[in-house]
Amino acid sequence: MKIIYSQKHLLHTPPAEIFNGNMDPHAEVPDRIENIRKALTKELHLDILAPNKFSISWIKKLHDDKYIKFLEKTSKLTEEYLYPSVFPYDNYLQIDNDLAKRGLYAFDMYTPINCQTFKTACESVNIALTAATVVAEGEKSSYALCRPPGHHAEKAKMGGYCYFNNAAIAAEYLSKHGKVAILDVDVHHGNGTQSLFYDRSDVLFISIHADPKYKFPYFSGTAKEKGVGRGLGFNINYPLKLKTGDLAYHQVLLKSIDQIKIFQPKYLIISLGYDTHKDDPIGGLSLTTSYYFQMAKAIRLLNLSTVFIQEGGYNTKILGYAAVSFVSAFI
């Protein structure tokens, strides 16, 4: 398995997320990816591959032009992180004021912008696209150590620590070569990925996550969301009760795997979050470290060309162990 990594993510250091009026320490820290990288190279002796550069046109295939420009322009402004304060409620309004745009292109106050944001978000996409090309060229699997994460990012909105949707862009790239299934096992619903493929039947999206009634992103992830038009039936959500453990989780995973088999994709993308772990500070489910081995083993039995895209996982003490447990089943 090839691991794709770049140290540019170290420049991405959002200091705080604003929750209910409070500045809470930001959970999405550089140590997350550093710990995973160190564990995979030291324990499993896997090689690191640097990402290639891809043209911005790959991002433009799924994200709104004006949104991309806004992020690029705002990123030039300041070293200090900028947060939205006002959320324009209607797209037909002429929104020229930059402070208003911050809220137009965001759905929360967890995802600030500074002079490093555009660069690091683009590099995260490069990592995902490199992992996709490696698999398109014949490797059985690759693991993209993306940071910032991506699965909450929508066509024209950042949110949930995500700016560009790495997994969705990798899926779009691979879908030129055949059908793609995306299985999102991050503890949070992948609202961004869902919305980007909601009307498409060539990309299957399945997400297993903590019930959004209680957990972020709150506004999406119910079992009722099944896709629209030609995409109807190609979007599947499994919201789980809080504290769901290994056994009950595994039943749902096996059901998802059966649905992927029926779809018969050429490629599989896993939006991979270790925030399903019982000791994750924000997660809400109760998986054990050793379960990640079982999870990966079941996924491996599909025998598909598979790209792993790093999403969440916030307990930096367990991330390395979780990643080693998961990846051990794939090598």
Q: Is the peptide bond before 51 cis (omega within 30 degrees of 0)?
A: no
> Measured at CB, which residue is nearest to Zn ion?
312
Catalytic residue among 9, 12, 152, 277: 152
Selection from Zn ion, ligand OKP, none that 231 binds (CB < 5 to 8 A by kind) is none
CA distance 199 to 234: 8
Residue 277 is among the residues annotated as catalytic for this protein: no
Selection from ligand OKP, Zn ion, none that 161 binds (CB < 5 to 8 A by kind) is ligand OKP
Selection from ligand OKP, Zn ion, none that 98 binds (CB < 5 to 8 A by kind) is none
Question: Which CB, 17 or 172, lies closer to ligand OKP?
Answer: 17
The site string for ligand OKP over 271-290 (x = CB under 6 A, - otherwise) reads: --x-x------x--------
Phi–psi pair at 186, nearest 5 degrees: -65, 150
> Minimum distance from CB of 268 to ligand OKP (Å)?
19
> Minimum distance from CB of 313 to ligand OKP (Å)?
7
Selection from ligand OKP, Zn ion, none that 24 binds (CB < 5 to 8 A by kind) is ligand OKP
For 41, 84, 172, 254, 317, the CA distances from 306, given in Å and listed in that order, are 20, 37, 14, 17, 27
Question: Which CB, 134 or 185, lies closer to ligand OKP?
Answer: 185
DSSP codes of every residue in 135-154: HHTT-SEEEE--SS--TT-B
DSSP codes of every residue in 47-69: PEEPPPP--THHHHTTS-HHHHH
Selection from ligand OKP, Zn ion, none that 225 binds (CB < 5 to 8 A by kind) is none
* Angle (CA) 312 50 121, round 5°: 45
270 contacts: CB under 8 Å, gap ≥ 6: 182, 183, 184, 185, 299, 306, 307, 308, 309
Q: CB under 6 A: which stretch of 16-24, 55-63, 67-75, 221-229 binds ligand OKP?
A: 16-24
Q: Which of 123, 154, 184, 186 lies at the binding interface for ligand OKP (CB under 6 A)?
A: 186
Beta sheet of 305-310, edge-to-edge order: 48-49, 2-4, 141-144, 305-310, 267-272, 180-184, 203-210, 235-240
Site for ligand OKP in 231-270 (CB under 6 A): none
Q: Which residues bind Zn ion (CB under 5 A)?
A: 186-188, 273, 275, 312
The answer to the question of residue 154 lying near ligand OKP (CB under 6 A) is no
* Assigned token pair, 116: 């490093």
CA distance 105 to 211: 25
> Minimum distance from CB of 159 to ligand OKP (Å)?
8
* Assigned token pair, 250: 């595994």
The answer to the question of residue 12 lying near ligand OKP (CB under 6 A) is no
Catalytic residues: 152
